[in-house]
Structure 1
Amino acid sequence: MLTKRQLQDIEQLQKKCEAYDYVQLKLNWEMLGSRESFQLDFLHYENDELVAFMGLYPFGSTVEVCGMVKPSERRKGHFNRLFQQGMETAKEIGYKKILLNAPAGSVAAKAFLIKQGADYAFSEHQMKWQERSLEEDDDVTLRLAIADDLDMRIRLSVEAFGMNEEDAREMESRYSGQILMIEVNQETIGKIRLKLEAGESWIYGFSILPEWQGQGIGRKVLRRVLKDQSSAGHSVHLEVETKNDHALGLYESVGFKAVHAQDYYVYQILDM
């Protein structure tokens, strides 16, 4: 696992890079703080200062990659070396899909990824709810998930997100935060996960069975969650892919506004 000092060094480097580039990096701190080994993290120090970092973040058979270099230490090959090490590790582990992540506004990151032969796949928007009055909805029930809901949660990830069952089972088994099941007429038809981070309530994994979609249920669920979280004094945030136009329109309709964006590129490992 990463040491306390390494985590502090990563946080400080992130702040420096974000301030310099006017971007927001997605370093998946929930995963960084719970690493069980150093295998997925690559750090480079100069004179006892962390100047480059890259992390691998597995989600089933897919791995996301994100990293950064201190502005004054760029163009010295630091990140390229970390990248090669990371790709060797990804190849050894056998991930089926590699997604390279970079802030949408970072010209330097985009140039590096294109140079590596990566192909643009999609963008993801971080959205924040802009507080507004909301209607009351009483015909949708939200309840805490129990152990017996695991199969339904897996089914929802497969049918609503298009995941394979193996990846869905692996991801559902390690989810943290509050998982709520969505019921209509006492029938479970969806799920939504909430995670509280420093006064911010983040929505993840919001999904409804395909046969129940298009009936306004998603909007009702969001209004219920927004009222509950805002009443508790929390700001509400989420992430959504731009290629999912229906989801984007749904979130915008209840008051969410995009504030940051991340670009994702697919990378194919060549023989090293």
Structure 2
Amino acid sequence: MSSLALAHTRYLLLEQLRVPVGLIAGALFPAITMVAFVVPFAGQDPRAATMATGSLMFFGAMSGALIGLSITVAQDRERPWNPYLRTLPAGPAAHFTGRILATLVTTLVSTVPVLVVGALFTEATFTAPRLLAAVGVVVAGTVPFMLLGLLIGYLMAAKGAIAVSQVLFFPLAILGGLLLPPAILPDFIQVVSPFTPTRGVAELVWAVTARTTPDPVALVSLAVWTALAAVAAGWAYRRDEGRRFS
């Protein structure tokens, strides 16, 4: 990894810290959800509390990957600074890498308040290896949602990206079982749930935190979603390049 990419990462993180409301909201909302719904209703059940903690860890990370990345990419495209970067010898790669790394950092930050609430106010149990595995799954699980964020960011203006990413985020979170256990969801949602990318990641998170057996249908669906999102994001990037810089 080049020092230039790391410099862009640092610059982008400083840019976020100067207006921290988005970062704070993304980190606190999952923790507030944990306090409001998990602590009083499932906090004393070690298995349920552990699974809920894992789900809400990914809930916050998914928000940064999908909503945060789509908006920042769309904003980058609208700023004069972005075309100027293209004139420099390094080209756009360092800035793009920095944007991805900065997004990963913010997704990791969003998991911390949830872990604190889970440790202090519930019976959730995480050994060090399981916690590291959960963090690894959360980071890897953001990949399809970052690809979806890139797709939206390269196709839409910033205002459109805000709306579309939020419209996608909450239904995917609900259908994937991140806010409520799949077993208590309505029957028609239980049928659809395994075919969403969020359910696939949730299955992996639950497997490493609570030793559940992942649903193979959900895992296959996650792989398909990731492949399709990669193809779509690549197409959107080439389309944007052709329109703005050809």
Q: Shorter chain as normaliser: what TM range?
A: under 0.3
Larger radius of gyration: 1
Q: Greater helix percent: which structure?
A: 2
Q: TM-score, normalised by structure 2?
A: 0.24
Structure with the larger RCO, 1 or 2 (CA within 8 Å, 6+ apart)? 2
In terms of fraction of residues, the more strand-rich structure is 1
